[in-house]
Amino acid sequence: MTPAGPRPDGPPPEGAALKRLAAKLPPGFLLGVSTSSYQIEGGSASRGAAGWDIFAARPDTILDHSNALTAADHYHRMPEDVALMKELGVDAYRFSISWPRVQPLGKGAVNPEGLAFYDRLLDELLEAGIRPMATLFHWDTPWALEQAGGWTKRDTAYRFADYVRIVGEAFGDRVADWVTINEPATLALEGYTLGVHAPGRALWVAGARASHHLLLGHGLAVKALREVPVKGRIGISNAHTPVFAASSRWSDRFAARNFDILSNRVFADPVLRGKRAPGLVGLGVRLSGTPRWGDAKIIAQPLDFYGVQYYFPSRVAAGPPRLKIGTPDSQTKAMLDLPMRLEPWPEYGVTGFDWPDSPDLVPVLLGHFADRYGSKLPPVIFTEGGASYPDMPNRVGAINDADRIDYLATHLSAALTEVPGVKVEGYFVWSLLDNFEWAAGYTQKFGLVAVDPDTQERTTKASFAWYQRLLAARTH
Ligand code: BGC
């Protein structure tokens, strides 16, 4: 492990700016880092197959033709990674639990080694004084369930609740915060509707069914955790993007409205308001899935916090994509047939993924929550925020990722802006480690720590040292 700290050719000390940001942090504001099981763990011989294993093995699904069978080998290097977080000085760590590691077939027999791994992780974290936030599902659907239809099947939501109960019973005394599902919108849209993520299905009807069952799975999971009962707080993590029409033309305004519903409302309205999101206009697509009487109530379980993941805003125009929507990785016919597209934002710089870097829109996004959900909005935690950059090492091997430092400083500062009706309680940087960035493979690096794909050596970047200084500079 390469130690953190000032490096030759490092960025100039931020001094005053860093102190100002530290002073802006309210008492008790949680600062953390976030990862997910599939993206870092590897250790694939000790778990059941995930849908992503099968998807990544298909030709042309992953940009660099890689897979996550080893990933950052966190499964074998977990104590070293927790030591890194201790050195960093974070309050909290958001990780995810791999369903196929706990239940290799997604139902039935439990893998004791799998549970033992998370048991050790929790012990290490608590020993290091780091507050554990566990996500129960971050897209690694067990392959056995995926083969039977995955989230298009209602049964998957019930199998998910069974798994959640197992995990809740095992760790309910030690996990401080639970996230049921990570970004269900991304899975429903990219995995089931556009086919650019696992399981690679590309049908609106599959996406609509998956959406409903993910919502149901979320509600059943909250119920299961409360029934156990677990000690920690419970929430969900949804991706959000403030949406604007590219022009005042009605076609662009309708496209923007549809995009807003798909990105921001399908998973927030039923959870926070107990109401289905409005229908899409002019697309001939129904989003309702196959709800049954009583589902809406299960889905709208009261939450202790609402996890928001903000990466970029969306300027939407009608017409087929010129720029790909979401991640610039594999393309499918369904994706290219989409009747809406994202337009560039010349006024903003972009990150490695070509995503506009626009911290000024964070308070705007928070304002949208206040308008839409009013008193029904629980305290917000940014459960992810961060940026990929090329991160070229300099001649002495140091990674001086000044652009990431700037991104994190400005986005965190914006997240602290007072917005009436919204209480923001924390910010988790995505991500601790460079990892398997889904369909982009290892081509996009989000980590505060670089991981050598051959040796697995961890090297802290300048952003790690920056975050460390910020954490240490807090006055309360
Ligand atoms: C996901 C992460 C992903 C990150 C950057 C989020 O949508 O939850 O798994 O790595 O974005 O693309």
Q: What percent of the chain has pLDDT over 70?
A: 95
Asked if residue 446 lies in contact with residue 387, where contact means CB atoms within 8 angstroms, the answer is: yes
pLDDT per residue as tens digits for the range 272-284: 999 999 999 887 7
Q: Which of 60-64, 231-235, 312-316 has the lowest mean pLDDT?
A: 60-64
Give the Å distances, CA to CA, from 187 to 8, 42, 114, 286: 42, 21, 24, 17
Going by CA atoms, what residue is nearest to atom 10 of ligand 1? 437
**Side-chain-facing half-sphere of 447: CA atoms under 13 Å:** 27
Catalytic residue among 14, 124, 146, 384: 384
The rounded Å distance from CA 188 to ligand 1 centre is 14
Question: Which domains occur in the chain, in start order?
Answer: 16-473 (3.20.20.80)
* Model pLDDT for residues 285-299, shown as the tens digit of each residue: 777 788 999 999 999
Counting Cα atoms < 13 Å in the Cβ hemisphere of 176 gives 15
CA end-to-end span of the chain: 30
457 carries an active-site annotation: no
Is residue 183 in contact with ligand 1, taking CB distance under 6 Å?
yes
Q: 239 CB less than 6 Å from ligand 1?
A: yes
Range 214-232 average pLDDT: 98
Residue 239 Cα: closest atom of ligand 1: 7
Phi (first) and psi of residue 7, to 5 degrees: -125, 160
For residue 429, give every residue at least 6 positions away whose Cβ sits within 8 Å of its Cβ, in sequence order, or none. Answer: 32, 33, 34, 385, 386, 408, 448, 467
Q: Which amino acid is at 40?
A: I
Whether omega for the bond prior to residue 328 falls within 30 degrees of 0, making it cis, is: no
Ramachandran sector of residue 73 (left: φ over 0; alpha: ψ -120 to 50; beta: rest): left
Q: What is the tens place of the pLDDT at every residue in 27-57?
A: 999 999 999 999 999 999 999 999 999 999 9
**pLDDT higher for 4 or 444?**
444
Beta carbon of 35 within 6 Å of any ligand 1 atom: no
The yes-or-no verdict on residue 130 having pLDDT over 70 is yes
- Does 183 participate in catalysis according to the annotation? yes
- CA-closest candidate to residue 439, choices 340, 314, 319, 332: 332
Averaged pLDDT for residues 297-307: 98
Q: Cβ contacts of residue 229 below 8 Å, gap of 6+?
A: 172
- Among 117-131, 305-319, 326-340, the minimum mean pLDDT is found in 326-340
* Nearby residues of 270 by Cβ (< 8 Å), 6 or more positions away: 215, 276, 277, 296, 299, 300
Q: Quick check: 2 pLDDT over 70?
A: no
Residue nearest to atom 3 of ligand 1 (CA): 437
Nearest alpha-carbon partner for 66 in 459, 453, 455, 456 = 453
